Amino acid sequence: MAKPTKAASTPTRPQGEPAAPALDNALADHQPGGIATSHKDAAGNAGELHQNAAEGSPPAAYLTDNFGHRIADNQNSLKAGARGPTLLEDFILREKIFHFDHERIPERIVHARGSGAHGVFEVTKAIPELTKAGLFQKKGTTCPVFVRFSTVAGGAGSVDTPRDVRGFAVKLYTDQGNWDLVGNNIPVFFIQDAIKFPDLVHSVKMEADRGYPQAASAHDTFWDFIGLMPESLHMIMWAMSDRAIPRTLRMMEGFGVHTFRFVNAAGEGKFVKFHWKPVLGMESLIWDEAVKIAGADPDFHRRDLFESIDAGSFPAWDLGVQVFDEDFAAAQPYDVLDATKLIPEEDVPVQIIGRMTLNRNVDNFFAETEQVAFLPTNVIPGIDFSNDPLLQGRLFSYLDTQKSRLGTTNFHQIPINAPKCPFHNMQRDGLMQTLVPTGRANYEPNSLDEAGEPNGPRACPATGFSSFEANAERNDPTEKVRVRAELFADHYSQARLFFRSQTDSEQAHIASALVFELSKVSLEHVRTRVLSRLRNVDETLARRVADGLAMPLPEAAPAAREPVEMKPSDALSIQKNAKATFEGRKLGILFAEGSDKATIDKLKADVEAAGGSVFLVAPKVGGLQVKGGTLKADGKLDGSPSVMFDAVASVLMPAEAEKLSKQGAAVQWFMDAYGHCKTIAHCNGTKVILEKAGIEPDEGVLPNEQLMKVGPARHFAREPKIRDLA
C-alpha cells in the first residue's frame, strides 16, 4: 500500500522543536489600500476593465472579502445567465454592499442633503390593458405622495447648487401599499452593475486622505475612476451638461432610470420606463451663476421649494411612461437592461398617465424629510422588476441600509414611512417596537381559530403580489455566471447621441464643464485617459477639451464595441424645450428713493397675473419715499444678488441711478444678470449703470414696457461675447 503524501501546505519542522506561536489578532498587516501592487489589465465580455493581480504576487496583492477569501471578479455580480437576475448567493456582492451601506451614521451616505414635500398624485389616463395596479384602473384615482429631492455627493451640510446628480424619489401611498419610485433627474447612470456602486461613490466622495473636496466631482479620484470605466461616458455627458445644475427643483425632470415591467390582469408583461416631466418646463443655471448662488444662499433650492408651496404656487410634474415589448428590446443596438442607456423618445414616445402636485410642506424636517426611507422593493401588484443588474443590487441595498440609518427593523412604523392602507403580518418585537400585537398568533399556519382565538392574517394568491413568471429575456437561466451581456459593451453610442442632441451653447457648456473639472485633476495621465475616451464620443468635443486644457490630443481609446450612429433627439435638450413664461419664475425689481411706484406696481401685477412672483430690491430695506407713496423692499441690494432671480428690471430716477453706478453691488447686479444671459428690463434712468457695467443692447436688454413680450428667457446668443467657452 502506497504511503499517503503529506499535504503541500502542512508546515515541516525538526522533531521535538516547539511549534511557532499562534498569530495574534491585532490586524497589524491589515492595511487596505496602503500597499503598492502590480496587476495585469484585461477586458471583460462587455469591455469592462478587470485589473488582475500578477502571478506570483505577494499575498497582500490579492483582493479578498473581509474573511480572506480571494475574489475572482470584482466587476460583475453573480447572475443566472448573462441577462438574468442577480443571485442571493453572491456573498461577495452582499458583503461589499452591506459594508458600504453601513459606512456612515447617521446621515445617508449618498443623497444626504435633501428637500421634501407632500402632495397628491392623480391618474389622468387609465391603463388597465398595461397593468393590473389598482392605481391605474380608473381615470381620476388619487393617492397621497411624499417626494424627496436631493444632491448625491455632498453631506447634509453642503450647498444646494453643486454640479451633481439630483435624487428624485417619490413615495406613493396607494391603497395596495406603498410604491416607491426611487430615481434621479438624469435617466441613465454611471455604472452597469451594482457591485461597482461602492467604488463609484468612494471615488466621488471627499478624498480619503484629506477629507475634501465636498460635494464636487472635480478632483483626481473621481476622474481616475471615470477614465477607467468607459461605461460611465454617457452619464458624464449628462453630468457635465446643464442638467446637473438645475435652476430650481421645480424645473427639472425625474426618471425611474431602470427598465421595469408592467403586468396586466391576464399575466401579460411589457417593459416600462418612468418619466416625471415638470409642468413649468426645464431650466438650468449657468455655472458662474451656480457658484455665486452657493455663496449668496446655500439653501437656494430648499428655500425656493418651501416658499413656492407656502405661497400656493404648487409645483407639478406629469408622470409619463415608455412602454415596449421584448421584440422591440431585441431589435435595439443597445440593451434595455443596461442602466447606462436610455430609449429615445422619438423611438418610444412618452405617454402621460398622471400628474403629481406638491401642495404641503413638511411639518418637521427631521421627522419627515430626514427619516423617510425609500425602497425600490416597494412595488404594488402590476409593477415588477427587470433583470437590470444595477436594479437587482438596489433591491438588496436599500432595505439593508435602513437598519443602519434608522436603527431598527421597525422603521416602517415611522409615520412618514407607514402605508396609508392596513398592514398585518406575523413579524413581532425588535428595537423601538411601537405597535402592541395581541394574542398568540405570531406564526402561520396555525389553528388557533378552532379554539376561538384570533388566528391572524393569511396569504392571498388572487390579489397579492406575484412576480412576473417569464424569465427568458433572451437569457439562459441555467447558467450561473459573472459576466455582462455583449450589448453592454457599447459605451459610446448614447454618449454621442446625447452630445449631438444639444444646441451649440449646450455643447459649449459641456465642453467647458469638462475643461473645468479636468483642470482640477492633478494627475496628467488621468486627464489624458479621459481625453482618449472623449474621442470615441465626439472628435470635436475631445479637441475642444484638449485645447481648453492646453494638452495634446491622445490616440482614441480602443472601444470594446464600435459605436453606432443614432438620430439626435430633441427631447434630450433643455434649451430646445424651454418655456419663456413667468409661471413659477421670479422677477427682481431694483428701485430706490423717488422711483415711480405706478411703474413698479404695473410690472408686479403683470408678472403675478402670468403666474410669477416679484421680489423688490433696494439700497435700504425700510420704507423709502417714492413717487406715489412709500415702498418697502423685500431685500437689500448687496444681500439680494441677481443670481436669485430669473429676470431683472429696474425703476430708477436718474440721480439715484448715478449714485448707484458708483456702488459695486449695483453694477455687479446688472453685470451678473447680463453675464447669465437673463432678460434685463430697465427705465431710461438706469442706462448710466448699464453703460458702466459694459452691457450692450440686445433682444434681452429692453425697456420695461417690453418685458412681458420677451419674458424670462435665457439669451444664449449673448454668451460668446461675455465669456470664454471651450
* 511 phi-psi bin (left φ>0, alpha ψ -120 to 50, beta other): alpha
C-alpha to C-alpha distance for 627 and 574, rounded to whole angstroms: 42
Strand partners, 150: 114, 167
The grid coordinates listed for 471 are: 424569465
What is the sign of the dihedral through the CA atoms of 427, 428, 433 and 437?
Answer: positive
Per-residue burial over 157-176, b = 16 or more CB atoms within 10 Å of its CB, e = otherwise: ebbbbbbbbbbbbbbbbbeb
Q: Whose CA is closest to 254, among 311, 321, 310?
A: 321
- With vertex at residue 137, the alpha carbon angle to CA 133 and CA 138, rounded to the nearest 5 degrees, is 145
Q: Which entry of 76, 111, 202, 234 is annotated as an active-site residue?
A: 111
H helices present in 193-285, as ranges: 197-204, 220-227, 233-239
Q: Which entry of 76, 118, 178, 184 is annotated as an active-site residue?
A: 184
Q: How far is CA 153 from CA 114, 204, 402, in A?
A: 12, 7, 19
CA torsion 280-282-287-292 (nearest 10°) is: 10
Are 249 and 166 contacting, i.e. CB atoms less than 8 angstroms apart?
A: yes
Q: What stretches of 223-326 adopt beta strand conformation (E)? A: 254-255, 260-263, 269-278, 316-324
Q: State residue 446 phi and psi, 5-degree precision.
A: -145, 165
Q: Whose CA is closest to 236, among 182, 163, 184?
A: 163
The grid coordinates listed for 579 are: 418655456
Q: What is the chain's length?
A: 726
C-alpha to C-alpha distance for 695 and 676, rounded to whole angstroms: 12
Containing H/E element for 49? strand 49-53
H helices present in 501-576, as ranges: 504-519, 524-537, 539-549
C-alpha to C-alpha distance for 316 and 356, rounded to whole angstroms: 5
712 by DSSP, 3-state: which?
Answer: coil
Lookup result for grid cell 433682444: 699
C-alpha to C-alpha distance for 507 and 509, rounded to whole angstroms: 5
Q: How many CB atoms lie within 10 A of CB 94?
A: 18
- The full DSSP string for 421-471 is S----S----TT------SS--SSS--GGGGTS-------TTTS----S--
Residue 178 identity: N
Residue 184 annotated among the catalytic residues of the structure: yes
C-alpha to C-alpha distance for 360 and 362, rounded to whole angstroms: 7
Going by their DSSP bridges, the two strands 613-618 and 635-636 should be labelled as: parallel
Are 241 and 506 contacting, i.e. CB atoms less than 8 angstroms apart?
A: yes
Q: Whose CA is closest to 636, among 581, 688, 591?
A: 591
Residues belonging to the active site:
111, 184
